[in-house]
Amino acid sequence: MKKMLWLALFSMTGCVSEEKETGIDDAEPTNEEVLFDCAEAVPCSGDYDIQSQSDMAGASTCESISGDLTIYEQDWLTNLDNFSCLTAVEGDLNILWNNALTSIDGFSSLTSVGGLLKISGTNSLTNLDGLSKLMTVGHFLQISSNDSLTNIDGLSSLLDVGGGFDIEGNDSLTNINGLSSLTTIGGYLDISSNETLTTIDGLSSLTSVGEDLYIRSNEALCQSLVDGFLALFPNNSTLSSGNDDGC
C-alpha cells in the first residue's frame, strides 16, 4: 500500500514538473524582451539594398543607416517588420514597385530621412501608418502611383520637407488629411492626377513653400478649393488646371 502511494505521488510530481518546464519553453516573448532587442540595435554604415530575406535580417540590427536604404521590385516582400528598430536613414529611402507589400508598419520608429523619400508603385499598400513618427525629410518626398493607397494619415507627425513634395497618380487617394502638421516645404509642391482626391484641407498648417505650386488633373477636386488654397501663397508661381470646374 505504501509502495503504491509513493508511486502515485511520484507520478503527480513528475507531471507537475513536466508541465512547468513545458510552460517555460512555450512562453511568448514579452514586450520587455522585444524592446530589449531594439536596445541592442547599432548605427549601420553604408548603403543597404534589400534583395533577399538575408538582406532583411542583416538590416534588422540597425538603429540608423548612414547611407541609402533601397527596397526595389521585391515581389516576395509583404511587410517591413525587420526595420522596427530603425530611427533614422541619413541618405535616401526608396520603396519602389514592391507589388506584394501591404504594410510599412515596420518603420514605426523612424523619425527622420536625411535625403529623399520615395514611395511609388506599391500597389497593394493602402496606408502609410508605419510612418507615424516621421517628422522630417531632408530633401525630396514623393508619393506616387500607389493604386490602392486611400489615405496618408501616417504622415501626421511630418513637419518639414526640405525639397520638393510630389503627390501624383494615387488613384484611390481621397484626402491628404495626414499632412495636418506640415508647415514647410523647401522646394515645389505638386499634387497631380489623383483621380479620387476631393479635398486638400490637410494642408491647413502649411505656411511656406520655397518654389512653385502645381495642383492639376485631379478630376474630383473642386477648382474653387484649389483657388482658395493657392491664394494663400501670393508670392509663388502657381499652376492649376484639369481639376473639377463644376463645383
Asked if the structure places residue 35 within a domain, the reply is no
Does any domain span residue 20?
no
In a domain, 93, yes or no: yes
pLDDT digits (tens, 9 = 90+) for 206-229: 999 999 999 999 999 999 999 999
Domain membership flag for residue 8:
no
> pLDDT tens across 17-65, in order?
443 344 444 443 333 333 347 988 999 999 999 999 999 999 999 999 9
Q: Is 19 within a domain?
A: no
Boundaries of domain holding 192: 47-241
pLDDT for residue 37: 74
- State the Cα–Cα distance between residues 247 and 238, nearest whole angstrom: 20
With respect to residue 237, please indicate whether it lies within any of the assigned structural domains. yes
Give the count of domains, the chain.
1
Domain assignment present for 42? no
Q: What percent of the chain has pLDDT over 90?
A: 82
Q: Report pLDDT for 13.
A: 45
The 10s digit of each residue's pLDDT in 98-148 is 999 999 999 999 999 999 999 999 999 999 999 999 999 999 999 999 999
Task: Report strand pairing: 112-113 vs 189-192.
Answer: unpaired
Choose among 107, 105, 109, 108: nearest CA to 125: 105
Average pLDDT over residues 165-172: 98
Query: 236: helix, coil or strand?
Result: coil
What integer best gives the mean pLDDT of the chain?
88
Residue 1 lies in a domain: no
- Higher pLDDT, residue 27 or 179: 179
**CATH number of the domain residue 53 falls in:** 3.80.10.10
pTM score of the predicted model: 0.83
The closest of 174, 172, 185 to 233, measured between CA atoms, is 185
**Cα→Cα distances 124→20, 23, 102, 228, Å:** 44, 39, 5, 34
